[in-house]
A and B are shown apart, each in its own frame.
Chain A
């Protein structure tokens, strides 16, 4: 019986700039199926947070219900967490963010949690541009209930019982673009070299950063005919660009031969370096992103990479002009300044 992960780690494991090793960002051992794409995404989150030297107590992970929403147990065991109600992760995160804007918010959801029961909440959190990273672990099926097609299952995709999906899919990235999301990217659980820089960039973006991550369900949706199997995704996956995340304190040194390089500076001073693989696309132009996405759909491709980023994004706190200090730290004396202060205000209105 192995189902115990030893506490022993590599004796020479490196430390990040704040003195933590990668193990400090791990969580409990996953109980998901062996080979689940979600575990790879968890590992990518661990790697990204480790490399960005995020202090674990400065991050809150919030999730809904489903296989995907179980994963916060399996990473960042020293961070804050809230496993909420099905499809209601956005409202919980909104509340938390309103109360304490100083934390980094990482929402984890699935295709059921986002594209079905939580679709309404998803739309509104985009509209409000809440400062958070929203990761959908998208496997196109309901893995917890034995693999029924979900709303993101592609039209014609064959599920494990051999039935073709008769309905068109909701393209979450397309929907997010349409609703005005200020950071939209798509990736694949099996491609960490792309996924990790995208997670880092998403976490550095101020405003709502959406990451649609295709994550094969190895038990119920990895069969022939499925469009979300490891093999199918690998065979149909052109990327918008090769990505490299550059932290703010570092000079940009990466340069790819040929093609055109673009650097998008993010809110916190860091930047994402793109080696564009397609000339007819500009990451800061929503129109080209929408077109490129549509074109890929027609071609039967799964377009991955950073699709769109709005560098001038204004998050919810800016829009509603809330105080800089987190609400949860406003003491009573500040919130209720007393009769004399009230009188002063009243006097001012006379």
Chain B
């Protein structure tokens, strides 16, 4: 193999698994260390710069970082990254003085943002400091989009959302609330320099089954139901409720139902548990609120008697997988099951919908009615129109929408300055020595043995009575410190200089996880078989040095390195050094 090029920013970035997995590439270990140091406001701002909604995400994020966390590969559970983020938000104090200063002098360009959700708000946050005049349209009376309409208050208190939406709207954004944009043509006829569409995936899918029409008074579409509850148009529900679907919306619907009077609430999933789309922790929370989840039961029909919904009939299936892993659900032969219900909520998916975009504007849509976009610039086929969030590539999550927003903001700025939108700024990187003395580093290098700490929950008797009562209470600062110390500091990189190495083997001998081997070079697949410990995780790179005195090379398997610094500590010549690598996705302008 060729020696590793550590000057390529993506090499060390990939080693920081959590940051690499985060769509917005939030520098996770950096803010976790700040939390451990009780610098909550600093930790908050590191987050805010990257992901714009730390308080919201600290409660509701899909956490792509956690399955990626290296701790999960060497210990039973990953670091509770998401809930640590919340600690920063909860304890930050007043950060208004740290927010970007918005110039009075505008640059003369007007930008239109359609939809007030996380993608649009991110574009607004990134562009406002540059002097753009930003107009934001939303059909509701407040900003926040799906964060407000689809996430129940017991998971995300309104004041947390209001605060973080407020930071952006206070940047002099011109809001046009209660204004449903019904014609793109009309928007384009105005003097906007660019238009950003962040209208999400607002159309909940329906299930057309026998009896659906007759039962319609008691059949609800998940996302519409959640929005109606959020705006208090729906305040009660029947005692017996069936939720159809296995995603996070289904989990929110069932838990909401429990708070609106639902006593016998069941979730029915047509596929096996293992294939449920909902996050494991949301399933766990639903179960802990006495909500059974029944799997392998596809709905067959709504049963209506005397014009009133009585329940639903479900079939029973089992999943079989063909050689390619493709699943098919085949009837198990068991008799159909009738389940009583006063109300049924259908939460089987949602789609983006653009009935308001005229077809003759030059904005092309593909056969699935999804806009044709450049995947890097988010530019549509009409150069001044950009898409982001769920409206771009279909339903995803908040953090993905934020990542889209950052990139779309760059594109819009390039476009408005008549530059090529595909010319993207390079990431910022910083490699910083951590050595302070013998056995002393600027980070807490010892690896803590603690297991993951559980976030305390409010008592069920209280939370089920009050739909606004937040269930999760967040870590207290003492527990947060301990959880923060579980972080392996994967951004503190092991940097090797072949020219200094005397091949004493000290690093190889001390490494707790046997990640370092000195051996003859070879092709990657073959080399992986010759290392001290099995190197089977090919998604993790091998760090290869140049040729050493004995013609061997140093090979480090990045997979389960604990970043404990012992290699550098046992190195007599400082051929190993621990350097903190800070990777930043470049924004349109410096935010903080």
Contacts and interface: CB of A to CB of B under 8 A. Distances in A.
Contact of A9 (B506, B512, B572): B512
Interface stretch (A10-18, A151-159, A169-177, A285-293): A10-18
Nearest to B534: A12
A6 interface: yes
Interface in B466-508: 502-506, 508
A192 interface: yes
B504 A35 contact: yes
A39 interface: yes
Given A35-B573, A39-B509, A40-B505, A4 B446 contact: yes
A264 to B, nearest CB: 27
Contacts of A1: 439-441, 445-446
Interface in A21-69: 22, 29-30, 33-37, 39-40, 42-43
Contacts of B503: 190, 230, 234
A2 B564 contact: yes
B275 interface: no
B514 A10 contact: yes
B570 interface: yes
A2 B560 contact: no
A126 B481 CA distance: 59
Contacts of A8: 74-75, 447, 449, 512-513, 562
Contacts of B75: 8
A216 B549 CA distance: 16
Contacts of A12: 533-534, 536
Nearest to A1: B439
A32 B572 CA distance: 11
A231 interface: yes
Given A8-B447, A12-B533, A231 B506 contact: no
Nearest to B549: A234
A256 to B, nearest CB: 16
B73 interface: yes
A3 B568 CA distance: 11
A337 to B, nearest CB: 53
Interface in A180-239: 189-190, 192, 216, 218-219, 222, 230-231, 234
Describe B's contact surface by its main secondary structure.
loop
A192 B509 CA distance: 11
Describe A's contact surface by its main secondary structure.
loop
A318 to B, nearest CB: 37
Interface string B147-179: 000000000000000000000000000000000
A3 B439 contact: yes
Interface in B536-592: 536, 549-550, 560, 562, 564-566, 569-573
A231 B440 contact: no
B354 to A, nearest CB: 48
A9 B504 contact: no
A10 B534 contact: yes
A42 to B, nearest CB: 7
A6 B570 CA distance: 15
Given A33-B572, A42-B509, A190 B449 contact: no
Contacts of A344: none
A3 B570 CA distance: 10
B504 A2 contact: no
A11 B534 CA distance: 9
Interface string A73-84: 000000000000
B560 A218 contact: no
A34 B571 contact: yes
B569 A2 contact: yes
B533 A6 contact: no
A234 B550 contact: yes
A317 to B, nearest CB: 35
B502 A35 contact: yes
B504 A216 contact: yes
A40 B504 contact: yes
A40 B509 contact: yes
Interface of B: 73-75, 439-441, 445-447, 449, 502-506, 508-510, 512-515, 533-534, 536, 549-550, 560, 562, 564-566, 569-573
The list of the 5 closest CB pairs from A to B, nearest first, reads A35-B572, A6-B447, A43-B509, A2-B445, A10-B533
